[in-house]
Chain A
Amino acid sequence: MKLEDMSVLVCDDSMFARKSLCLYIATLGIKNVYEAADGQQAVDQYAEHKPDIVFMDIVMPVITGIDALTKIKEIDPNAKVIMASSVGTQNHLKAAIKAGATDFLQKPISNDQVKQTLENAAKGVI
């Protein structure tokens, strides 16, 4: 798949985190970018759009990113969900892996990390 043909879901309760990530993703030529501001919105948006890849924060209102990941995996066991969180503690890492996260990025996330992740997803490496 070409990078610009991918669809991406960005889930973060921080408008700043969503906007800065979406802005950067747009510069890569990706047009189909969806946003969710809490865990439940993330699940709903995933069910509606079935994006190729998801960037998911952990600490979010309504339901956490880990719970949202679990629900998304129930909808689609092949979903590619990258946890993008400020809290990469051992417990969070274990919980994310157990729930089926594809990868874990510790905030602050660099543009290079985002690009690399998207390119790997486009190539089917992750």
Chain B
Amino acid sequence: MFSQFFGGYLLNKGAVTKEQLAKALDEKKVTRMRLGVLAINAGLMTADQVELVNVTQQTVDKRFGDLCVDMGYLKAEQVDELLSKQPTDYLLLGQTLVNMGALSNADFETYINEYREHNQINDDDISGDQSDKLASLVAEFYHFSTSQNAKLYTKYVTLLFKSLIRFVGDDFTPLDASPAKASSGALTIRQNITGAYDGITAISAGTDEYATFAKRFAKDAYVPDPEFDDASVGEFLNVCNGLYAVNESNESGVEISLTPLTTAKNEEMAFDKEVFSIPVQFTFGEVEFLVAFS
């Protein structure tokens, strides 16, 4: 999930466009890591040093790693260690953006260092997929600490993103959230939370994006039918909310329940209170998630 939020960070900084990010998320599956980006990420080389080795390599028939050793930037064992590590997902994203020319090595160095410092994360956090760190990343990205029910929003949205990765795909970038009184897509499906506290949850998207989301969740069981799209997107929401309810029950002793799903077609769904609109950019388009707790 770090790579998704790193992508969102790059977007908010204006470092890349939505289109570049969507293309990179699609292409990163086949990206091979290069030593330069790995060395910058590990803090062993600067972007300038990597560029110098790149330039030198154009005139010398030697591998990048051997040149780094020759030029005194890395030791041979450091080259071996960097190359032997399984690259993390956000690194593959960074490498893809560098390959595409969307980011330079210097940009990558600046943004990855800023991002880590801002969120106080290191490679162990990222590779270990630490839940606490993920939650703080979510809270920081969406500024939940300033809202009432900050803990509930953080728990819910963290679980939502984990569920997206688990059931729909990891090729998405979270976009900035904003308050809303209505959904923005042509199709919307909603489920309320009742019990110890009340909540509104909903998913909204354009017809094509809604159908693609449904198809990805349903996998082999998919049937191209608008009614089935509702059922599939609704089941994702239901499963996600169910897992949230179980976590609340088991971890906090809080009992909540879920209402049957309701839909709105070709019109916005209005809410009787302000909700967080959380747009997510997938490679196939934008999907809006809406949530409110009271």
Q: Mark A94-107, 1 if CB is under 8 A from B, else 0.
A: 00000000000011
Tell me if B242 and A106 are in contact (CB < 8 A): yes
Contact pick for B238, options A23, A89, A90, A107, CB 8 Å: A107
Contact between A16 and B231, CB atoms less than 8 A apart: yes
Q: Which of A60, A61, A90, A107 contacts B242 (CB 8 A)?
A: A107
Q: A23-B221, A89-B255, A108-B239 are in contact. Are A13 and B246 (CB under 8 A)?
A: no
Closest residue of chain A to B248 (Cβ to Cβ) is A89
Report the minimal beta-carbon distance from B285 to chain A, rounded to whole angstroms. Answer: 21
Chain B residues near A61 (CB-CB < 8 A): 260
Assembly CA distance A16 to B236 (angstroms): 10
Contact A86 B260 (CB under 8 A): no
Minimum C-beta distance from B260 to chain A (A): 5
Contact yes or no, B249 A91, CB < 8 A: yes
Given known A16-B228, A16-B232, A90-B255, contact A59–B238 (CB-CB < 8 A): yes
- State whether the Cβ of A78 lies closer than 8 Å to any Cβ in chain B: no
Query: Once bound together, how far apart are the Cα atoms of A61 and B191, in whole Å?
Result: 13
A20 touches B221 (CB 8 A): yes
Residues of A within 8 Å of B228, CB to CB, are 15-16, 19
Q: In the assembly, what is the distance between CA of A42 and CA of B228, in Å?
A: 21
Residues in A with CB closer than 8 Å to B260 are: 13, 59-61
Contact between B250 and A14, CB atoms less than 8 A apart: no
Contact A87 B221 (CB under 8 A): no
Min C-beta distance of B197 to chain A, whole Å: 14
In the complex, what residues of B have CB within 8 A of residue A16's CB? 214, 217-218, 221, 228, 231-232, 234-235
Structural contact, B235 and A17, CB atoms closer than 8 A: yes
**Is B243 located at the chain interface by the 8 A CB criterion?**
yes
Contact with A along B246-279 (1 / 0, CB 8 A): 1011100101111111000000000000000000
Q: Check A59 against B258 for contact (C-beta < 8 Å).
A: yes
Q: Judge whether A20 and B218 touch: CB under 8 Å.
A: yes
B257 to A15, Cβ gap below 8 A? no
Min CB distance, A26 to chain B, in Å? 11
A40 contacts B by Cβ under 8 Å: no
Name the interface residues of B204-225: CB closer than 8 Å to any CB of A: 214, 217-218, 220-221, 223
Chain B residues with Cβ below 8 Å from A13 are 260-261
B246 in contact with A88 (CB, 8 Å): yes
CA–CA, A87 and B238, complex, Å: 9
B61 part of interface (Cβ distance < 8 Å): no
CB <8 Å contact, B245 and A87: yes
A1-43: CB near B (< 8 Å → 1, else 0) gives 0000000000001111101100100000000000000000000
Q: Is residue B227 within 8 Å, beta carbon to beta carbon, of the partner chain? A: yes
Tell me which residues across on chain A come within 8 A of B249, comparing CB atoms.
88-91
CB<8 Å pairs between A and B, sample of 6: A15-B231, A17-B235, A59-B257, A59-B258, A87-B258, A89-B245
